[in-house]
């Protein structure tokens, strides 16, 4: 299988919007237009294929105990269906992003990547799998991160797809909110736009947005300001007021209510009153946005002088802000970079492991520490992958034994034959006639010799015996020619090349090539060792070979020689090493193992530090880069 595309993770992109946000917009557009969820899933498969420049992509989503499956397969890409289906099943089972690197016959690398699709709560509800070009193992990590972001975009679009046919006005508002949220490139841009729009819509003096971070509320934006200074006294007072509302999990208000007014809105909370006092007694309101039981943001509102909040104002504000509780986490996850994604996951694991009664998590943490120690201080066998071709170590050219007409061809190239099996037959009619004549001459001269002896004519008898010997020699030559007219297999093996069926009836000269024959016991493996591993491979090393035709089969090999110079194969410089089987046994090679087969060999290059095996390609690339800068 061969895929030739540009590396989607390193090629420049002309769009202004980052690829993850662009994918989210495209999927949201589909979610609004698709007549059903099944139709959307099919559209999503095509968008994912276009995003990764892929010939094939699968999407599977489970909703209300029913599977929705979509796929996009370009013409000629049917060979990818089985590997993609297997990867999709594994991704659904393991519920994590999977990426696998494959080496193609053309010398390129391609990646199969699958990622679980989360819902608005972060739980997997499906997965997708796609093919994409990939230059090396280091790029594979970026491809996996990109797939994770695209999966989040699909999950976000599914929310909009569900909201496309809403049952009430709140669902409609939620879909519209998520659609507007997707237009922003990152969370900070969205936060400043939200606070300014809310200030204009509510007629407020100031609107502030706070986001939770490590148990505190961090001010992300203040309306009318381009930057937030967290250490300023005014900012600190607002942060404390928002944290108070987040801790309570409900809306809190501070204002000077009139004693005669029955609709008193002030909740009397201390930090909220401190914010009101800091701004000259103005009315202030803090509204936490809840996703389930979690606070995902807090919006603070300060009215102008002599303008109080009424109960209906608070209710309308809560209703206006509630859809953003689902939209903010989506944008937060979609705008995370690779490092942020890894840091968040690590932080979540650590917090869960340190929780009370989390014995299983503590054990998992201990296992993680052990794995970390093994990574930096342990050793493992370094296996060098090498594209491999099975070749015949010895070939025999079967040719015409004499000049004659080709009568019959009994085999075809690639056919396995046993020793003594007939391969081709030459016409011997003329030779048989000549043999009959020689046989008749032999009898006649023998009779003449016997008659001369009976008559006592020894001279005549000697002459007749000489003529009989000459006829006998001619007869033997003709009989050998007749016998060699059937060309037979010299041993058990395979006919590699040569097809003379179209030459039946043609007069072939002596020595005309017929077939190239390879005995079973004469097999060798040509290993194309990557240039970067040239110093790691030497003669005598053990290796294992898995043919592409039967990946589950493994042959143990021994490297016999390594070429002193490199050559170019498949557009890459490689070192050719030759190996032979080490444990074929008395039965020889399997019947299906034939010259010309290809596969991958893994050469055991000895123990190396685990960190070196995992990172040496990256460090080599960095060394090359720094050397160019010198």
Higher local confidence (pLDDT), 165 or 142: 142
Lowest mean pLDDT among 104-113, 278-287, 313-322: 104-113
Res 354: pLDDT: 62
Q: Which residues pair with 600 in a beta bridge?
A: 387, 546
**Three-state secondary structure of 169-220:** HHHHHHHHHHHHHCCCCCHHHHHHHHHHHHHHHHCCCEEEEEEEECCEEEEE
Q: Are 325 and 209 in contact (CB under 8 A)?
A: no
Q: How confident is the model over 470-486, as a mean pLDDT?
A: 85
Q: Please answer whether residues 129 and 91 qualify as being in contact, where contact means their C-beta atoms are separated by less than 8 angstroms.
A: yes
Q: Among candidates 159, 416, 480, which has minimal Cα distance to 291?
A: 159
Residue with the bigger pLDDT between 189 and 543: it is: 543
The reported pLDDT for the residue numbered 242 is 92
Do β-strands 422-426 and 404-409 pair in parallel, antiparallel, or remain unpaired?
antiparallel
pLDDT at 340: 63
Q: Is 560 helix (H, G, I), strand (E, B) or coil?
A: strand
Residue 15 has pLDDT above 50, yes or no: no
Nearest to 212 by CA among 347, 409, 118, 11: 347
Q: What residues pair up with 306 in beta bridges, in sequence order?
A: none
Mean of pLDDT values over 439-443? 88
Q: Report the percentage of the chain scoring pLDDT > 70.
A: 80
Mean pLDDT for the stretch of residues 463-484: 85
| pLDDT value of position 6 | 36
Least confident of 64-73, 158-167, 448-457: 158-167
Tell me what pLDDT residue 5 has: 35
Does the pLDDT of residue 23 top 60, yes or no? no
The residue with greater pLDDT, 168 or 245, is: 245
Percent of residues in the chain assigned helix, strand, coil, to nearest 5: 40, 30, 30
Under the banding of pLDDT at 50, 70 and 90, the label for residue 298 is: very high
d(CA 464, CA 478): 21
Q: Which residues of 175-190 are buried (b: 16+ CB within 10 A; e: fewer)?
A: bebbbbbbebeebeeb
Using an 8 Å Cβ cutoff, are 68 and 154 in contact?
no
> What pLDDT score does 491 carry?
83
pLDDT surpasses 80 at 352: no
What local confidence, expressed as pLDDT, does residue 522 receive? 65
Q: What is the pLDDT of residue 243?
A: 92
The pLDDT of residue 22 is: 57
| CA 22 – CA 146 distance, rounded (Å) | 12
DSSP string, 450-465: HHHHHTT-HHHHHHHH
Mean per-residue pLDDT, 474-489 = 85
Q: What is the pLDDT of residue 501?
A: 80
SS3 313: helix
SS3 589: coil
Q: HSE (CB half, 13 Å, CA atoms) of 547?
A: 16
Least confident of 14-28, 116-130, 248-262, 285-299: 14-28
User: Bridge-partner residues for 581, per DSSP?
Assistant: 557
User: In 3D, which of 191, 190, 194, 244 has the Cα closest to residue 217?
Assistant: 244
Residues 409-429, mean pLDDT to the nearest whole number: 85
- Contact between 410 and 418 under an 8 Å Cβ cutoff? The reply is no
Q: Which pLDDT band, with edges at 50, 70 and 90, does 488 fall under?
A: confident
- Average pLDDT, stretch 549-570? 88
Give 381's strand partners: 607
Residue 502's pLDDT band (cuts 50, 70, 90)? confident
The count of residues in the chain is 630
Residue 66: predicted pLDDT: 63
Residue 175: what pLDDT? 47
pLDDT at position 320 over 90? no
Between β-strands 542-547 and 379-392, what pairing exists: parallel, antiparallel or unpaired? unpaired
The pLDDT of 520-533, averaged and rounded, is: 82
Task: Flag whether pLDDT at 166 surpasses 50.
Answer: no
Residue 80 pLDDT more than 70?
A: yes
Give the Cα separation of 409 and 426 in Å (integer): 9
Q: Which two tokens stand for residue 603?
A: 């050469």
Q: Choose among 55, 42, 50: nearest CA to 111.
A: 55
Give the mean model confidence (pLDDT) for residues 277-281: 88
The band of 287, judged by pLDDT with boundaries at 50, 70 and 90, is: very high
H or E stretch at 275:
helix 270-278
List CB contacts of 53: < 8 A, sequence separation 6 or more. 5, 6, 8, 132, 133
Check residue 116 and give its pLDDT.
92
Average pLDDT for 597-607: 90
H or E, element range at 472? helix 458-484
Q: Give the pLDDT band (50/70/90) at residue 372.
A: confident
> Which of 567, 578, 569 shows the shortest CA–CA distance to 541?
578
Contact 314, 285 (CB under 8 A): yes
Residue 99 confidence (pLDDT) above 50? yes
Average pLDDT, the chain: 79
Instruction: Check whether 236 has a pLDDT greater than 70.
Output: yes
Q: What number is the average pLDDT over the span 202-216?
A: 87
């Amino acid at each position: 299988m061969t895929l030739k595309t540009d590396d989607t993770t390193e090629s420049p992109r002309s769009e202004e919007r980052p690829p993850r946000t662009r994918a989210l917009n495209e999927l949201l557009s589909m979610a609004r237009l698709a007549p059903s969820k099944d139709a959307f899933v099919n559209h999503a498969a095509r968008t994912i294929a276009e995003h990764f420049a892929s010939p094939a992509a699968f999407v599977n989503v489970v909703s209300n105990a029913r599977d929705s499956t979509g796929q996009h397969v370009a013409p000629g890409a049917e060979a990818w269906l089985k590997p993609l289906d297997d990867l999709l099943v594994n991704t659904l089972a393991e519920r994590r992003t999977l990426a696998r690197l494959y080496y193609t016959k053309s010398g390129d690398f391609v990646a199969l990547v699958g990622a679980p699709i989360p819902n608005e709560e972060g739980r997997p509800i499906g997965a997708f799998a796609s093919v994409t070009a990939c230059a090396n193992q280091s790029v594979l990590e970026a491809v996996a991160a990109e797939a994770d972001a695209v999966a989040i975009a699909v999950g976000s679009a599914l929310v909009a797809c569900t909201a496309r046919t809403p049952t009430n006005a709140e669902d409609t508002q939620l879909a519209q909110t998520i659609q507007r949220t997707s237009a922003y490139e990152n969370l900070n841009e969205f936060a400043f736009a939200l606070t300014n729009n809310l200030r204009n819509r509510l007629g407020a003096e100031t609107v502030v947005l706070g986001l939770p971070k490590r148990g505190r509320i961090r001010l992300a934006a203040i309306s009318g300001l381009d930057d937030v200074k967290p250490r300023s006294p005014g900012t600190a007072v607002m942060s404390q007021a928002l944290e108070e509302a987040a801790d309570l999990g409900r809306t809190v208000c501070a204002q000077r209510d009139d004693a005669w007014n029955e609709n008193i809105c002030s909740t009397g909370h201390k930090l909220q009153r401190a914010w009101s006092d800091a701004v000259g007694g103005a009315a202030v309101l803090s509204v936490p946005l809840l996703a389930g039981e979690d606070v995902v943001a807090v919006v603070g509102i300060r009215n102008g002088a002599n303008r109080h909040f009424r109960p209906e104002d608070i209710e309308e504000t809560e209703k206006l802000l509630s859809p953003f509780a689902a939209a903010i986490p989506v944008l937060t996850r979609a705008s995370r970079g690779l490092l942020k994604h890894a840091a968040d996951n690590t932080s979540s694991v650590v917090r869960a492991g340190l929780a009370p009664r989390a014995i299983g998590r503590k054990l998992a943490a201990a296992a993680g520490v052990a794995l970390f120690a093994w990574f930096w201080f342990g050793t493992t066998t370094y296996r060098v992958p090498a594209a491999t071709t099975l070749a015949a170590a010895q070939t025999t050219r079967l040719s015409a034994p004499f000049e004659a007409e080709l009568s019959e061809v009994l085999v075809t190239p690639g056919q396995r034959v046993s020793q003594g099996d007939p391969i081709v037959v030459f016409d011997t009619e003329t030779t048989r006639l000549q043999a009959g004549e020689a046989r008749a001459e032999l009898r006649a001269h023998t009779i003449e010799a016997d008659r001369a002896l009976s008559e006592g004519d020894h001279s005549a008898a000697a002459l007749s015996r000489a003529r009989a010997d000459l006829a006998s020699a001619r007869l033997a030559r003709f009989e050998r020619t007749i016998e060699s007219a059937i060309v037979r297999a010299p041993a058990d093996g395979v006919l590699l090349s040569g097809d003379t069926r179209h030459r039946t009836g043609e007069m072939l000269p002596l020595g005309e090539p017929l077939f190239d024959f390879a005995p079973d016991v004469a097999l060798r493996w040509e290993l194309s060792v990557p240039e970067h591993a040239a110093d790691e491979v030497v003669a005598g090393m053990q290796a294992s070979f898995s043919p592409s035709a039967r990946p589950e089969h493994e042959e143990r090999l021994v490297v016999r020689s390594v070429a002193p110079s490199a050559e170019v194969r498949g557009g890459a410089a490689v070192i050719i090493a030759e190996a032979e089987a080490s444990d074929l046994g008395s039965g020889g090679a399997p019947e299906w193992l034939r010259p010309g087969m290809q596969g991958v060999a893994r050469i055991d290059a000895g123990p190396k530090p685990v960190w070196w095996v995992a990172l040496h390609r990256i460090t080599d690339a960095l060394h090359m880069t720094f050397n160019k800068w010198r």
